[in-house]
Amino acid sequence: MKYVLALDQGTTSSRAIVFNREGQVVALAQREFRQIFPQPGWVEHDAREIWATQHAVALEAIEKAGGEIVAIGITNQRETTVLWDRATGQPVANAIVWQDRRTAPRCDELRKAGKAALIQKKTGLVIDAYFSGTKLQWLLDNVPGARKRAEAGELAFGTVDSWLLWNLTRGRLHGTDASNASRTLLFNLHTMDWDDELLRLLDIPRAVLPQVLPSSGLLADVETSLFEASIPIAGIAGDQQAATFGQACFAPGMAKNTYGTGCFMLMNTGATPVASRNRLLTTVGWQGPQAAHRTAYCLEGSVFMAGATVQWLRDGLQVIQSAPEVESLAAQVEDTGDVYLVPAFAGLGTPDWDGYARGTLVGMTRGTTRAHIARAALEAIALQSADVFDAMSRDSRIALKELRVDGGASRNNLLMQMQADFLGVPVVRPQVTETTALGAAYLAGLATGYWSGADEISAQWKSDRRFEPRLPEGERRAKLARWRQAVERSKGWAQRE
Q: Does 151 appear as a known binding residue?
A: no
CA 11 – CA 160 distance, rounded (Å): 10
DSSP 470-486: -S-HHHHHHHHHHHHHH
Q: Does 184 appear as a known binding residue?
A: no
Q: Does 130 appear as a known binding residue?
A: yes
Residues linked to residue 283 through DSSP beta bridges, in sequence order: 298
Q: Does 295 appear as a known binding residue?
A: no
Query: Taking a C-beta distance cutoff of 8 angstroms, is the pair 261, 372 a contact?
Result: no
Question: Where does residue 241 rank: exposed (0-12), middle (13-18), buried (19+ CB within 10 A)?
Answer: buried
Q: Does 368 appear as a known binding residue?
A: no
Q: Does 278 appear as a known binding residue?
A: no
Q: Does 424 appear as a known binding residue?
A: no
Contact residues for 29 (Cβ-Cβ < 8 A; gap 6+): 15, 16, 56, 57, 58, 60, 61, 64
Contact residues for 414 (Cβ-Cβ < 8 A; gap 6+): 327, 330, 331, 378
Q: Does 13 appear as a known binding residue?
A: yes
Q: Does 482 appear as a known binding residue?
A: no
Q: Does 244 appear as a known binding residue?
A: no
Q: Does 12 appear as a known binding residue?
A: yes
Q: Which of 155, 215, 129, 217 is nearest to 447 (CA)?
A: 217
Q: Which of 168, 172, 185 is nearest to 76 (CA)?
A: 168
Other Cβ atoms within 10 Å of 334 Cβ, number: 7
CA 248 – CA 458 distance, rounded (Å): 5
Residue 168 host element (H or E): helix 160-168
CA 405 – CA 181 distance, rounded (Å): 25
CA 234 – CA 306 distance, rounded (Å): 30
Q: Does 492 appear as a known binding residue?
A: no
- On the question of a cis peptide bond just before residue 205, with omega within 30 degrees of 0, the verdict is no
Q: Which of 174, 185, 181 is nearest to 211 (CA)?
A: 174
Q: Which residues are known binding-site members for glycerol?
A: 78-79, 130, 239-240
Question: Which residues are annotated binding-site positions for ADP?
Answer: 11, 15, 261, 307, 408, 412
Q: What residues are designated binding site for sn-glycerol 3-phosphate?
A: 11, 78-79, 130, 239
- Residue set of the binding site for ATP: 11-13, 261, 307, 311, 408
- Residues of the binding site: 11-13, 15, 78-79, 130, 239-240, 261, 307, 311, 408, 412
